[in-house]
A = this chain, B = another copy of it.
Amino acid sequence: MEFTGSHILSIAQFQRADIERVFQVADTMEPYALRRKVTRVLEGAILGNMFFEASTRTRVSFGSAFNLLGGEVRETTGFKTSAISKGESLFDTARVLSGYSDVICMRHPEAGSVAEFAEGSRVPVINGGDGANEHPTQALLDLYTIRKELAGRGRDIDNLRIAMIGDLKHGRTVHSLCKLLCLFSNIQLILVSPPELAMPESIVEALCAAGHKVQISEDLTESIVSVDIAYSTRIQEERFESKEEADQYRGRFRLNQSIYTQYCEPNTVIMHPLPRDSRACANELDNDLNLNPNLAIFRQADNGVLVRMALFALVLNVADQVDAHARDVIWHTGR
């Protein structure tokens, strides 16, 4: 695809070569995110960070990514404060707001809203999540994390062995990740969930059509024995029909250090899209994994900044100029 001036609305836009281009640019952003250098390549540019649905971390991640390239950020949070609630069309909103910035990141609770907004926009729009539909930068940062975590081990996305655990029915992130994985070859997936929360059939079919090997399971411990990545997602109680049904699964999809030690290969990487529910009743990742060096969940969040910097740089066509506007960092950085 041609990145310059394009909207980034869906992972369906990406071919394998496009993903590799994003990841290659993301790699070059690391010195800036780690504060080894500062770049001012986008000094004077403005990001319109339009969050019509609240999401602190995604919003701040996009904003910081733009600041790290030297640009300014104007933003909004929430819905009620917006003219949209007075009957304004997304076309009008986009037409107006796109006069205020060089690029827009938009999040909105309705599926399809960001694409509709993009039609009215005069500047590139990046989808920051449109309801149940897409959150393409999350999918890209997940895949980028897989690639980066495995790189030191001589393994890659091709030939990946991955277990996806939790609510695979409603989890937007695992759906998107599966779609991206269809662009790669020879992947083994184990899909671990209560039967009520199984991965949609259409996605399983797409994975098979891509030549991947898909296994369905309800058993956490047997599923994580031979994988490179254990990708856990949140199971929300309200997804079950009754509390009794929810209780029946309680704890059965929770990964902790003793299960990890007993069942996983030594370097299995643990991922999660965050936020993680740290309360004891949750079906997610135990806090006792925090000292496990293979817990990659916070590196995922860090990688989100790199991927978003890369997308901004590509869409605004400055990827090749970032280093030319670099300076030394003169303040204390712990990293």
Q: Which A residues contact B (CB, under 8 angstroms)?
A: 4-5, 33, 35, 38-46, 48, 54-57, 59-61, 63-64, 67-68, 70, 72-74, 76-78, 80-83, 86-89, 91-93, 95-97, 99-102, 122-124, 274-279, 282, 287, 290, 298, 301-302, 305, 315-318, 321, 327, 329-335
Q: Which residue of B lies closest to A121 (CB)?
A: B334
Q: Which residue of B lies closest to A333 (CB)?
A: B102
Give A186 to B44 CA distance when docked, in angstroms.
43
16 contacts between A and B (CB under 8 A): A41-B330, A44-B327, A46-B67, A72-B72, A83-B275, A88-B277, A89-B287, A92-B274, A92-B275, A92-B278, A95-B301, A96-B298, A99-B298, A102-B333, A123-B335, A124-B334
Q: Which residue of B lies closest to A6 (CB)?
A: B332
Given known contacts A64-B100, A92-B275, A122-B335, what 14 new A-B pairs fall within 8 Å (CB)?
A: A4-B332, A5-B332, A38-B43, A39-B44, A54-B81, A56-B76, A56-B82, A60-B76, A64-B74, A72-B73, A83-B275, A87-B282, A91-B290, A92-B278
Measured CB to CB, the closest approach of chain B to A165, in angstroms, equals: 18
| CB pair A305 B99 closer than 8 Å | yes
| Contact residues in B for A35 (Cβ distance below 8 Å) | 102
Measured CB to CB, the closest approach of chain B to A138, in angstroms, equals: 13
Give A20 to B330 CA distance when docked, in angstroms.
24
| CB pair B321 A330 closer than 8 Å | yes
Give A88 to B277 CA distance when docked, in angstroms.
5
| Contact residues in B for A101 (Cβ distance below 8 Å) | 64
Measured CB to CB, the closest approach of chain B to A321, in angstroms, equals: 6
- Select which of B64, B80, B88 is within 8 A of A46 by beta carbon: B64
* Count of identical protomers in the assembly: 3
Measured CB to CB, the closest approach of chain B to A80, in angstroms, equals: 7
| CB pair B318 A96 closer than 8 Å | no
- Given A67-B74, A278-B92, A279-B87, CB of A97 within 8 Å of CB of B316: no
| Contact residues in B for A64 (Cβ distance below 8 Å) | 46, 48, 74, 100-101
- Select which of B55, B290, B332 is within 8 A of A316 by beta carbon: B332
| CB pair B278 A88 closer than 8 Å | yes
Measured CB to CB, the closest approach of chain B to A59, in angstroms, equals: 8
- Select which of B40, B99, B301 is within 8 A of A96 by beta carbon: B301
- Given A87-B277, A278-B92, A287-B89, CB of A60 within 8 Å of CB of B335: no
| Contact residues in B for A39 (Cβ distance below 8 Å) | 44
Q: Which of A64, A302, A327 has the most CB of B within 10 A?
A: A64
Measured CB to CB, the closest approach of chain B to A173, in angstroms, equals: 14
Give A275 to B57 CA distance when docked, in angstroms.
30
Measured CB to CB, the closest approach of chain B to A272, in angstroms, equals: 10
Give A329 to B71 CA distance when docked, in angstroms.
12
**A-B pairs with lowest CB-CB distance, top 6:** A54-B81, A38-B44, A83-B275, A87-B277, A88-B275, A89-B278
- Given A88-B276, A275-B88, A278-B88, CB of A57 within 8 Å of CB of B97: yes
- Given A83-B56, A287-B89, A305-B99, CB of A122 within 8 Å of CB of B274: no
